């Protein structure tokens, strides 16, 4: 039996090995040597949840949300078929039967099935490492292919149109409460366009999570910039005008996504310069501006719902025409498209950005970025190559 302790600490690894050996010896004494080979997949999952998932959460290798999702996959899509089966009953035939059963349960995307397959494979591998079944293992993969799904995104020109349209929409009402709600929505939309933060993450933001730098010019002409717990001194002459100084300091604003509200745990987000201006203006306007207040609250200062912003989206942006309902690939444009617009703009219009930095800022993986945005870089490359060819033809 081969099993990893998932630690580089020799003492801790020895302790884990001793505890595991004692557990196995106790099982053999209590139930006999044949007990190990008769374990069901429900028994194995109980061990996997305790020894793998709980340990990873404790060591902060995965979030509690991920653990909850994996348990849900087991309860809903693995346990109904495998729970009462013994580990020794795993075979090519039973695996094929399982995936036939699973695919007939409901209509879902191939990527969802493949994500569930990862959990199933990890469980089988865990059982193999513990000696509950012998190799070679059968192919555990479902007969489905990964889908490179596209995400709807607005163009850079459309973002400017939306910004102007929302400004007019705000002025169209004289009621103070309506005006505040509309200004809140406008800031919400523009922050999504200029930061790539997820809808749920933006709704959970509080003012204490947004760190805007404070810049003060000193007597010697230098500039002292205070940002969170950091200080930066800009030499005299480096920033010529106050306008340049304002733009420079706004470019180093930071938004902290907390571990509880973020899908992928805590991460700092550096938005585009434009986002900072909208946030500063909105904080001056909102009656809920204390550090503990929500950035995008309802009229009572409570957390807004996704549905309320979706309603405003349908009343404003969606009415601009079909081009603002579907992008050029036919993908529907929804509030979730604000984040995808940010990624598209960065990939097309900021070629100097490193893909790794963009993934870190958005809280996503390189694999997900490739799946959802590979068509963006491919079409941009095609257009650039085409322009070069036309340029040569005109020589």
Phi first, then psi: give them for residue 157, nearest 5 degrees.
Answer: -65, -40
Radius of gyration of the chain (CA): 27
Is residue 149 in some structural domain?
Answer: no
Three-class DSSP category at 280: helix
**Is 140 within the bounds of a domain?**
no
Q: What is the pLDDT of residue 244?
A: 62
pLDDT tens digit sequence for 365-388: 887 777 677 656 555 544 444 444
DSSP SS3 for 214 = strand
**Does 295 map to a domain?**
yes
Q: Which domain holds residue 180?
A: 156-212+253-393
Q: Is there a single domain that holds both residue 115 and residue 57?
A: yes
Q: Report, as ranges of residue numbers, the positions in the chain whose pLDDT lies below 70.
A: 1-8, 17, 20-37, 147-150, 213-216, 225-230, 232, 234-252, 259-265, 371, 374-395
Indicate if 353 and 308 belong to the same structural domain. yes
On whether both 166 and 229 belong to a single domain, the answer is no
**What pTM did the predictor assign?**
0.62
Residue 113 near residue 142, CB atoms below 8 Å? yes
Would residue 298 count as lying in a domain?
A: yes
pLDDT computed for residue 27 by the predictor: 56
Do 83 and 166 reside in the same domain of the chain? no
Number of other residues whose CB lies within 10 A of the CB of residue 232: 13
Q: Do 125 and 166 share a structural domain?
A: no
Is residue 201 assigned to a domain?
yes
DSSP string, 53-83: IHHHHHTTSS-HHHHHHHHHHIIIIIHHHHT
CA separation for the pair 230, 116 (Å, rounded): 44
1: in domain: no
Burial 14-33 (b: 16+ CB within 10 A, else e): eebeeebeeeeeeeeeeeee
At 23 the pLDDT is 65
Whether 175 and 57 map to the same domain: the answer is no
Q: Are strands 254-257 and 230-234 parallel, antiparallel or unpaired?
A: unpaired
Task: Report pLDDT for 277.
Answer: 85
Q: Is 110 helix (H, G, I), strand (E, B) or coil?
A: helix
The total of structural domains in the chain comes to 3
Q: Rounded distance, CA 38 to CA 88, Å?
A: 7
Query: Do 31 and 162 sit in the same domain of this protein?
Result: no
What's 332's DSSP letter? Answer: B
What's the token pair of residue 102? Answer: 């699973």
Does residue 5 form part of some domain? no
Within a domain: 264 = yes
Q: Are residues 325 and 360 in the same domain?
A: yes
Same domain, 38 and 182: no
On whether both 221 and 200 belong to a single domain, the answer is no
Q: Are residues 67 and 165 in the same domain?
A: no
Max Cα-Cα span within the chain? 87
C-beta of residue 46 within 8 angstroms of C-beta of residue 39: no
Rounded Cα gap, residues 188 and 214, in angstroms: 23
Whether 258 and 231 map to the same domain: the answer is: no
As to burial, measured by CB atoms within 10 angstroms (0-12 exposed, 13-18 middle, 19+ buried), residue 389 is exposed
113 with 103: CB under 8 angstroms?
A: yes
- The domain that holds 339 is classified in CATH as 1.10.443.10
Q: Of 80, 114, 129, which closes a domain?
A: 129
């Amino acid at each position: 039996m081969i099993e990893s302790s998932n630690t580089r600490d020799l003492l801790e690894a020895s302790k884990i090995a001793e505890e595991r050996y004692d557990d196995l010896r106790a099982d053999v004494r209590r139930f006999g040597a044949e007990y190990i080979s008769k374990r069901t997949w429900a028994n194995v999952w109980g061990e996997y949840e305790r020894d793998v998932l709980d340990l990873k959460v404790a060591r902060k290798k995965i979030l509690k949300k991920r653990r909850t999702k994996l348990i849900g996959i087991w309860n809903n899509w693995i346990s109904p078929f495998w729970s009462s089966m013994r580990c020794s009953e795993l075979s090519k035939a039973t695996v094929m039967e399982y995936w036939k059963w699973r695919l007939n349960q409901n209509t879902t995307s191939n990527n969802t099935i493949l994500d569930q397959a990862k959990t199933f494979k990890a469980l089988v591998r865990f059982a193999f490492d513990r000696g509950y079944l012998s190799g070679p293992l059968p192919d555990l993969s479902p007969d489905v292919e990964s889908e490179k799904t596209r995400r709807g995104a607005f163009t850079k020109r459309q973002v400017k149109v939306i910004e102007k349209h929302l400004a007019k929409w705000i002025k169209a009402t004289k009621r103070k409460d309506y005006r505040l709600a509309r200004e809140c929505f406008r800031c919400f939309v523009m922050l999504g366009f200029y930061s790539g933060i997820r809808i749920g993450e933006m709704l959970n933001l509080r003012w204490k999570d947004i760190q805007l730098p404070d810049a003060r010019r000193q007597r010697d002409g230098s500039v002292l910039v205070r940002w969170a717990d950091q200080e930066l001194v800009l030499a005299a002459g480096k920033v010529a005008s106050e306008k340049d100084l304002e733009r420079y300091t706004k470019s180093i604003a930071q938004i902290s996504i907390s571990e509880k509200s973020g899908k992928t745990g805590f991460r700092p987000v550096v938005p585009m310069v434009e986002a900072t201006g909208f946030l500063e203006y909105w904080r001056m306007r909102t009656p809920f501006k204390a550090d503990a207040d929500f950035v995008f609250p309802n009229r009572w200062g409570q957390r807004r719902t996704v549905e309320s912003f979706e309603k405003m989206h349908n009343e404003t942006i969606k009415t601009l025409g079909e081009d603002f309902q579907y992008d050029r690939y036919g993908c529907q444009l929804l509030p979730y498209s604000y984040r995808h617009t940010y990624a598209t703009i960065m990939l097309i219009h900021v070629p100097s950005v490193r893909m790794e930095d963009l993934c870190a800022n958005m809280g996503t993986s390189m694999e997900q970025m490739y799946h959802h945005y590979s068509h963006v870089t491919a079409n941009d490359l095609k257009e650039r190559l085409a322009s070069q060819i036309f340029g040569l033809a005109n020589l």
